[in-house]
Amino acid sequence: MELDRVSTIGFIGLGIMGGPMAGHLVAAGHEVTGYNRSPGALEKLKAAGGSAAGSVAEAVAGRDIVITMLPQDEQVEAVFTEILEHAKPGALYIDFSSITPKTAEWTAAEGAKRGLRVLDAPVSVGEPGAVNATLSIMVGGSEADFEAAKPVFAAVGKTYELVGPNGAGQVVKAANQLVVGGTYASSPRRSCSWRAWARTPPRAWMSSPVASRAARSST
């Protein structure tokens, strides 16, 4: 499925990050239907030109792309269970949430059973990045799905890179947080950014000390 055309998108989670991101997708020409527990968030999406759904099922049914931007693993697991029931086979699922690699791998495995294409795509730069469409996006999944999702990433982010298989995006995000937080302040790697790690071959990167530390810290 090529996504360089106008796509129908179901977007779940319209908070301080998801709301602006959904708005950018509308501005890019996509048909966005959103769902959020807060009515106020739905009104903002409608004001931006999107549509509001009354449930997860309504938001995702028949859509080309399904997106989630949720706070924790538990919410992702619960919402994804509904997505599995209602998304059409062949749909592309992109999770922008920051969750554990284990949960990201679970969504990929379960999605594959239902014919869904899955990418984990946690972001950095925070709320300003979401508002200004300058997010840095670390993507885990297949190269084909990454290429197909580029129009989405281009609408909401400034930089986006495929860093490895499903779950790798979450590992790189966690490693980036460790580096930025100063965990490796005394290490020669202290000045490395996630882009430097992303240029490392995935197999070698995933076996590196930083990746191992990040994976342990995020489980």
Decide: 154 and 106 in contact? Cβ < 8 Å: no
Q: In terms of DSSP H, where are the helices of 87-158?
A: 101-113, 126-132, 143-156
Look up the CATH superfamily of 8-166: NAD(P)-binding Rossmann-like Domain (3.40.50.720)
pLDDT at residue number 208: 53
pLDDT at residue number 4: 53
Amino acid, single-letter form, for residue 80: F
193-196 contacts: CB < 8 A, separation 24 or more?
194/124, 194/136, 194/138, 194/163, 195/159, 195/161
Decide: 12 and 56 in contact? Cβ < 8 Å: yes
129: exposed, middle or buried (C-beta count within 10 Å: 0-12, 13-18, 19+)?
buried
Which residue is catalytic, options 44, 46, 158, 173? Answer: 173
pLDDT tens, position by position, for the chain (219 residues)? 444 567 999 999 999 999 999 999 999 999 999 999 999 999 999 999 999 999 999 999 999 999 999 999 999 999 999 999 999 999 999 999 999 999 999 999 999 999 999 999 999 999 999 999 999 999 999 999 999 999 999 999 999 999 999 999 999 999 877 766 554 444 554 444 544 544 444 444 455 554 555 555 454
d(CA 164, CA 206): 8
pLDDT at residue number 2: 47
Closest Cα partner for 31 from 19, 48, 44, 15?
Answer: 48
pLDDT at residue number 177: 74
d(CA 98, CA 121): 8
Amino acid, single-letter form, for residue 93: Y
Query: Is position 173 annotated as part of the catalytic site?
Result: yes
pLDDT at residue number 6: 75
pLDDT at residue number 181: 57
Q: Where are the domains of the chain?
A: 8-166
CB contact set of 96 (below 8 Å; sequence gap of 6+): 17, 18, 21, 67, 68, 69, 121, 122, 123, 137
d(CA 162, CA 150): 10
CB contact set of 210 (below 8 Å; sequence gap of 6+): 175, 178, 179, 184, 189, 197
pLDDT at residue number 176: 78
Q: What is the DSSP string of 161-173?
A: EEEESTTHHHHHH
